[in-house]
Amino acid sequence: MLPESHEYFMQQALKEAQLAFDADEVPVGAGVVMNHKIIARGHNQVELLNDSTAHAEILALTSAYSSMGSKYLPDAVG
């Protein structure tokens, strides 16, 4: 599997989902990719953080915005 393929990035999201599952969370994982590199990832942490908005996608996006120092990610895919 090539490290720049869609399958590779999906496999990484599934690894995040496994982390959620192992923590008794709903098993969902997400990643944000820019220029063929993962710039952020996340998994559900609703129970851990006692926060109904702590979904994988939101956590991954928040991390991506922070790491890029921007509120927009026009070249990113998730």
57 assigned to active site: yes
Q: Which residues of 46-77 are buried (b: 16+ CB within 10 A; e: fewer)?
A: beeeeeeebbbeebbbebbbeebeeeebeebe
Q: Which residues have a catalytic role annotated?
A: 57
